[in-house]
Amino acid sequence: MVRNYLDKYCELLNKDIYEEYTPYGLLVDFRFYLPKLKSEILTNCLEFEIDKKIEYLNLVSNEVSNLIIEDWKNISVVNKWLTMFETTFDNIINSNLNKEAINVYLDADYAQFEEEDDDIIKRRQIFDFQLDFFNVFKNYFIADVVNFCNSTKADFTKKKDVKTTINKPFKDEYLIAFKKAITDERQIKETCFDLVYQGIIHYVPYLENEVMENLLLLNTDKKDDYLNFAIDTLKKTEFSDCDENLIDKWLKKYTSPISEFPNFKNEELANWLKRYYNGYADDPKDYDFILDIQYDFYYYVAGLEAQKMISFLESKKSTAINNTSIQTETSEKIKWIGKPSQLGFIIGKLAELGYIDAPTKPNGDINFTQFAKLVNNTFNVETTEATLSKYLNLESEKGSETVRKFEENGFDIPHIKAIS
């Protein structure tokens, strides 16, 4: 069992005010270590049987709970300061405070105020302010870890009597963990999108290592069977076919390009993705808005990471499927000298008219993300796969504009059935 981040977290919880930290410095460190501690907890859980998992989660929960500071258990003790600076606790927890007036007090060096003249009043006020926030921050981040442990424990308890007895010839611990991470949108209500996303990508290198280890151990004639099993497992997940279209409205609303994901420069968008749903809203309407935007981004990343992992698994195949060689990217491509929009329209139109068999999602619709990848592997064109996928979709905003231009110039290709 590894406890590097748990020890660091407890070290922060044991800090005394003015020892080394201002309240703001403490907040920054808690923000940094919280997702790392949660990843460490989940990784440790994978090493135990269910009973031991629950025992371990109780240990972590009890260890941090023992450090609760009773006089500051209720966040309302800082309400007077929040009113004074016209802000909210949620804003302090989730925002970049460098430009906020309250940060002058949160990050003030207490020692610079001498006990004389006018400074003594400000010195005492800053002392009271920082003492309140220092301890409220500690209790808040203790509660976050306890809630996370309880939620994780509840999931394991439900599965306690549903253990599989099938002996597989390969390991699938991280495949199961990754699948759970991309299919459990309920996590959004317990934390926030930003932390849930970190949890998803945390499993990626572990799953890739598990795949490579299985391929080394399996007989040659079983390798592709295993890869097909893993691919099928991910394709059957509920959100595996979700794509960028789900978050288009948010990207437009906050004028943010998808290329900035996940580190959006628009502070308002970044803040909404870091907002906790449970109990920290300025207005009751915020709850619905937080769920709307964070669920959409969750569905998008669940589909994105599922497709990326499926592509990784496909790349490890060694034999042909259905007597068709798997297409791989080669060093030589056809150079496209037209615009990317024109390439997308022509290839998309050929697929629409039956000349090209485009890759599809489980529901039968064209998978434009995979389609763009195949086209990009065939043509040397200066664009991204994300942009190309929009041009291939003739019904998208970008695609329909190109359709209009071609039709205005008399472009016409008959359907394959009309000339066959």
- pLDDT digits 0-9 by tens, 261-307: 989 999 999 988 988 876 555 565 677 888 889 999 999 999 999 99
Question: Cα–Cα distances in Å, from 336 out to 252, 262, 341, 400?
Answer: 29, 31, 11, 21
Per-residue confidence (pLDDT) for residue 305, from 0 to 100: 94
163 pLDDT higher than 50 = no
Beta bridge partners of 321: 324
DSSP code string of 263-278: S-S-HHHHHHHH--SS
Q: Are 273 and 192 in contact (CB under 8 A)?
A: yes
Would you call the peptide bond into 23 cis, given omega within 30 degrees of 0 as the criterion? Answer: no
The token duo for 288 is 């619905």
Nearest one of 350, 400, 404, 399 to 378, comparing CA atoms: 350
DSSP 3-state of 369: helix
Beta bridge partners of 360: 366
Per-residue confidence (pLDDT) for residue 324, from 0 to 100: 39
Question: Cα–Cα distances in Å, from 114 out to 19, 109, 121, 207?
Answer: 18, 11, 10, 57
d(CA 160, CA 165): 13
Question: Cα–Cα distances in Å, from 101 out to 22, 47, 96, 198, 324?
Answer: 16, 46, 12, 30, 64
AA letter at 359: P
AA letter at 164: T
d(CA 358, CA 374): 9
Mean pLDDT for 241-249 is 86
Per-residue confidence (pLDDT) for residue 111, from 0 to 100: 60
Nearest one of 212, 81, 94, 86 to 144, comparing CA atoms: 94
What values do phi and psi take at 360, rounded to 5? -125, 160
Nearest one of 24, 26, 19 to 8, comparing CA atoms: 26
The model's pLDDT over 3-23, given as tens digits with 9 standing for 90+, comes to 899 999 998 888 876 556 688
Beta bridge partners of 366: 360
d(CA 360, CA 356): 12
Nearest one of 296, 299, 297 to 184, comparing CA atoms: 299
The model's pLDDT over 39-73, given as tens digits with 9 standing for 90+, comes to 889 888 888 887 888 888 999 989 998 888 888 87
Question: Cα–Cα distances in Å, from 14 out to 66, 70, 339?
Answer: 11, 14, 60
The model's pLDDT over 257-272, given as tens digits with 9 standing for 90+, comes to 998 998 999 999 998 8
Question: Cα–Cα distances in Å, from 187 out to 196, 291, 357, 372, 407?
Answer: 7, 11, 38, 31, 47
d(CA 23, CA 338): 57
